[in-house]
Structure 1
Amino acid sequence: MKRIAIYGKGGIGKSTIVSNMAAAYSSHHRVLVIGCDPKADTTRTLYGERLPAVLDVLRENRKPDASEVIHEGFGGVRCVESGGPEPGVGCAGRGVIVAMNLLEKLGVFEEEIDVIIYDVLGDVVCGGFAVPLREEFADEVYIVTSGEYMSLYAANNIARGIRKLRGKLGGVICNCRGIRNEVDIVSEFASRIGSRVIGVVPRSSLVQESEIEAKTVIESFPESEQAEVYRKLADEVYLNTEFVVPEPMDPEEFEEFFRKFRGDD
C-alpha cells in the first residue's frame, strides 16, 4: 500500500493536486483520499459535491458505520473528509485526530487499498495536522508550494516538522502562480532543504473550469495537456524511491535565500 501525505500552505492548491492525482491513480488502483482540512473541500471535485465531514456525522450519530463517512467518487475513489469545529470554536486539528481514530476503528486501513492520499493543511501550528505522520498513517510526504514568499515560508516550516517527526520527504511540488523564475526559485528552495522538485504544475484555466463543475481536470478534460501533467506527477510520486529527512533553513538563511530573488518578482 502506498501511503502519501501532501502538505502545503492553505490555498496553495493541494486539494486540486490531490484530487487529480487520485483521479489519475483510479484507472489502475484502488484509492482512498482523506481530506485533513477543516474546510472539508478536498474531495468535492471527486465526489461532485461537498461531503458530510466525519465530525459532522459524529455530531448526529456517535456510532456511524463506514458508509456514513466514506463515499465513492469518480473512478471509484473512496473519499473521506475529517472536517473541523465551527469557526472560532475548538481545535482545528481535532477533526484529523477523530477521523483517523474512527477510520482505524472501522477497519478501513485493513481493507484492500493500493493508494491512500492525505491532504493536510500545513500553515497551522497544531498537533492534529501532524497525525498522519506522527501516528504513522502515512509513509512519505510531499510539499506543495509556489515561488511566493509565504508559500515557501510555510514549506520551510513544514520541512521542520517533517524533520522533527523523522518523516520521509519525497520531494517538492511546484504549483505555479506565474511569477518570474518560479521554477528556479522552488528548485533552489528544494535543494536548500536537501530535496528536489518532483513535479511542476503550470497555471491553467482548465482547473477553474473543472472546479466550477465540481470535477477534476482528468474527468473534464482527459485529453488535455494539464491532465497529462497530473498523470505524470502521479506516476513520479508512485514510483519514487528517493526520500530524505529534510534540513530546513533557519530564519536568517531563509531570508537570505528569498532576498536573492527579490528583484525577479
Structure 2
Amino acid sequence: MSKGKHIAIYGKGGIGKSTIVSNLAASYSPDKKVLVIGCDPKADTTRTLVGQRIPTILDILKEKKSAQEEDVLFSGYGGVMCVESGGPEPGVGCAGRGVIVAMKLLENLEVLNQDPDVIIYDVLGDVVCGGFAVPLREDYADEVYIVTSGEYMALYAANNISKGIKKLKGNLGGIICNCRGISREVEIVEEFTRRIGTRVIGVIPRSELVQQSEIDAKTVMEKFPESEQAEKYRKLSVTILDNDNFVIPQPMDAEEFDAFFREFQ
C-alpha cells in the first residue's frame, strides 16, 4: 500500500461527515493526489466532487460479477479520485458488507497502491458492525477523526466510536466540531474531547453556503472558493495534514457520559 496520509473520518449518520470529507479532498486537490473512498451505504460522499452520484462497487458487482478500475474509479473536482462502496437496499442484508467487498476489490485492482498523497475514508459511525471497522481493523487508515456537533446524540455516537477506536488501538487525531448552532456548542465539544483524552482539531461553523453548494452538487471549495467557509475547510485540511499528535481515546461509560452532558443543561 502507498505511504501517503491515510485518514478515516467517522461520525453519526447525518452529522456532516460527507461534507467535511468532500471539502477536505477539494482543499488538498491543487497540489496533492487525493483518493476518496465512501464507506457509507447512502453512497453520497463523492456526489459534490463528481457532480452526480457515481455507481457503487456493490451495484457494479451485482450487474457484472466482476469490475475493472475504470468501472469503480471516477475523477472529480480538482482531479480527486472517487469510489463508493455502496450497500444493500434498506432493510435487506448487512450494510457493512459493502465496505468489506469494496476494500477487497480495491486491493485486487491495486487502486490503493497508486501512491495517492492522501486517502480519505468516509465511514458511517456504526462501529458495532464489523464492516464499518474495516478501515481501522485492516490497517487501511493510519489515523482517525470524529465529526460531531454539541448535540447529545452526536456526542453519544462519538463516545461509542471512541470505544471502537480504543478496542482496535486506532490513532485518534482529534474531534472536528461541525456546528449546529446550539448554545455553548464549542465549549461542550471541547469538554467532551478533554474527557476522552484528545482535542478539538477544527471548528466548522454552520453556514447556508453548504446547502447552496450541495443543491448544485458542488463542494463549498468549488462554488464559493473565496468564502470564509472555504477558508475554514482549508485551515482544517492543513491542520490535519500537519498533525502528529495521536492518542488512543479513553471513552466514558454511559453513566459518566450522561453526567457530563447534564453539566451543560
Matching residue within 65, 75, 79 for 1:72: 75
Deviations, residues 199-247 of structure 1 (Å, cap 9, x unaligned): 0000000000000000000000000000000000000001000000000
Q: Secondary structure at the match of 2:192?
A: helix
Q: 1:114 maps to what in 2?
A: 117
Amino acid in the other structure paired with 2:188? I
Say which SS state the counterpart of residue 6 (structure 1) adopts. Answer: strand
Aligned length: 262
Q: What is the 5 A alignment of 1:68-147?
A: 68-123=71-126, 125-147=128-150
In structure 2, what is the Cα distance between the partners aligned to 1:158 and 1:223? Answer: 34
Question: Which residue, 217, 222, 225 being the options, matches 2:225?
Answer: 222
The one-letter code matched in structure 2 to 1:7 is: Y
Secondary structure, counterpart of 2:120 in structure 1: strand
Distance in 2, matches of 1:13 and 1:123, equals 15
Check whether the contact 2:148–2:177 (CA below 8 A) recurs between aligned residues. yes
For 2:111 and 2:127, locate their aligned partners in 1 and report how far apart those are by CA, in whole Å: 27
Instruction: Please name the residue that 1:236 is paired with.
Output: 239
Partner of 1:18: 21
What is residue 6 of structure 2 aligned with on the other side?
A: 3
Equivalents in 2 of 1:111, 1:124: separation in Å? 28
Work out whether 1:36 is the aligned partner of 2:14. Answer: no
- Code of the residue aligned with 2:58 in structure 1: it is L
Residue 177 of structure 2 corresponds to which residue in structure 1? 174
Q: CA offset at residue 25 of structure 1? A: 0.3
Residue number among 136, 153, 156 corresponding to 2:156 in the alignment: 153
Match among 192, 205, 211 for residue 208 of structure 2: 205
Contact 2:127 2:161 in 1 (8 A): no
For structure 2, the 5+ residue unaligned runs are none
- With 98-107 and 115-124 compared, the bigger mean Cα shift is at 115-124
Partner AA of 2:18 in structure 1: S
- What TM-score, normalized by structure 2, do the two folds share? 0.98
Q: Which amino acid aligns with 1:136?
A: D
The AA in structure 1 aligned to 2:57 is V
Shift of 1:124: 5.7
The RMSD of aligned alpha carbons is 0.6
Question: TM-score, structure 1 length as denominator?
Answer: 0.98
Aligned equivalents of 1:255 and 1:64: distance in 2?
A: 47
In 2, distance between residues paired with 1:200 and 1:231? 12
Amino-acid identity (%): 72
CA distance in 2, matches of 1:33, 1:107: 15
- 5 Å-filtered alignment, 1:51-70, equals 51-70=54-73
> What's the secondary structure of 2:27's corresponding residue?
helix
**SS of the residue aligned with 2:92?**
coil
Runs of 5+ consecutive residues of structure 1 not aligned to the other structure: none
